[in-house]
Amino acid sequence: MTCLLASDVSLSLGGRHILRSVTMSVQSGAVVGLIGPNGAGKSSLLRLLAGLKVPDTGGLLLDDQNLASVPAHWRARQIAFMPQEVVRPPPMSVRHVAALGRLAHGESGSVAFHHPKVTEALEQTGLLQSADRPAHRLSGGELARLSLCRMLCVDAPVLLADEPVAALDPAHALMVMSLFQKAAHQGDKAVVVVLHDLALAARFCDQLVLMQDGAIRAHGLPEDVLAETLVRDVYQVTTRRIGPIPVPWDLCP
């Protein structure tokens, strides 16, 4: 079983505390949602988990391996990361861009281009029919799905995605979250997703980590973390519920 653990990590940038003594873990078979207001430290924590930043204090372990000491190529095969920023690619086909995910395994050229995982990921993200299109001509939402597709092509046991549904319409947002849920529950992957949509977080995540001011305010089942009093205190909004799903309704007076 894969386990990614952040143990008492702290991070400062430019003299400002970004993360304060954060401890969390995610295991294979689970989707963990990172939620919280803007500036809470969610993206910084995700980059620490990906090994892209080094904490000032604390440690990061993947299956008892210290991420600070493992080779980059080993980490790249174990942890696939989807950044929040979607960069418009050079004039390459959609399939060529997706196939870049196989570089983590040392595969390139026709080997990567024709790899079954590339075709599978294109199909999963609804891009198979667009595989021959120039990637730089895709819409913003299509580029977001292509970024996800490239991450899936790595076929890593850990998937980390920073706001993967921010640019997507409701149908594609549901499709993407269903993909993460299936990857965890059926593919036995460990998934961490940064989200602002509390309804999607409640529906698709097994555990939620609610962050505020660089620290973890609550960690547990969605129904516990999204309690009305916690949401009101952290987000400064009231909520109404549709069944078990909390919907932000109004600003606090």
Residue 201: predicted pLDDT? 96
Kindly report the length of the chain: 253
Q: How far apart are CA 112 and CA 232, in angstroms?
A: 48
For the cut 90, the answer to whether the pLDDT of residue 85 exceeds it is no
**Tens digit of each residue's pLDDT (9 = 90 or more) over 5-51:** 999 999 998 889 999 999 999 999 999 999 999 999 999 999 999 99
The string of DSSP codes covering 32-90 is EEEE-STTSSHHHHHHHHTTSS--SEEEEEETTEETTTS-HHHHHHHEEEE-SS-PPPP
**Tens digit of each residue's pLDDT (9 = 90 or more) over 136-175:** 999 999 999 999 999 999 999 999 999 999 989 999 999 9
Q: Do strands 237-242 and 215-220 pair parallel, antiparallel, or not at all (unpaired)? A: unpaired
Residue 238 exposure: Cα atoms within 13 Å on the Cβ side: 6
Alpha helices in the chain (DSSP H): 42-49, 72-78, 94-99, 109-113, 116-124, 140-154, 170-185, 198-204, 222-225, 228-235
For the cut 90, the answer to whether the pLDDT of residue 64 exceeds it is no
Residue 14: predicted pLDDT? 85
Q: How far apart are CA 215 and CA 23, in angstroms?
A: 9
Residue type (1 letter), 113: F
Q: Do strands 79-82 and 215-220 pair parallel, antiparallel, or not at all (unpaired)? A: unpaired
Which residues face 174 on adjacent strands? none
The 3-state DSSP class for residue 219 equals strand
Residue 73: predicted pLDDT? 92
Residue 89 exposure: Cα atoms within 13 Å on the Cβ side: 24
Residue 167: predicted pLDDT? 85
For the cut 90, the answer to whether the pLDDT of residue 61 exceeds it is yes
pLDDT band at 1 (very low <50, low <70, confident <90, very high): confident
Structure tokens given for 83: 């950044």
Structure tokens given for 46: 């995700």
**Tens digit of each residue's pLDDT (9 = 90 or more) over 183-206:** 999 999 999 999 999 999 999 999
**Tens digit of each residue's pLDDT (9 = 90 or more) over 99-137:** 999 999 999 999 999 999 999 999 999 999 999 999 999
List, in order of start, the domains of the chain with CATH numbers.
3-251 (3.40.50.300)
Neighbours of 72 (CB within 10 A): 9
**Taking a C-beta distance cutoff of 8 angstroms, is the pair 102, 77 a contact?**
no
Q: How far apart are CA 16 and CA 89, in angstroms?
A: 33
Which strands sit side by side in the sheet containing 16-27, from one edge to the other? 16-27, 3-13, 57-62, 65-66
**Taking a C-beta distance cutoff of 8 angstroms, is the pair 32, 56 a contact?**
no
**Taking a C-beta distance cutoff of 8 angstroms, is the pair 240, 249 a contact?**
yes
Residue 86: predicted pLDDT? 83
**Tens digit of each residue's pLDDT (9 = 90 or more) over 33-45:** 999 999 999 999 9
The 3-state DSSP class for residue 213 equals coil
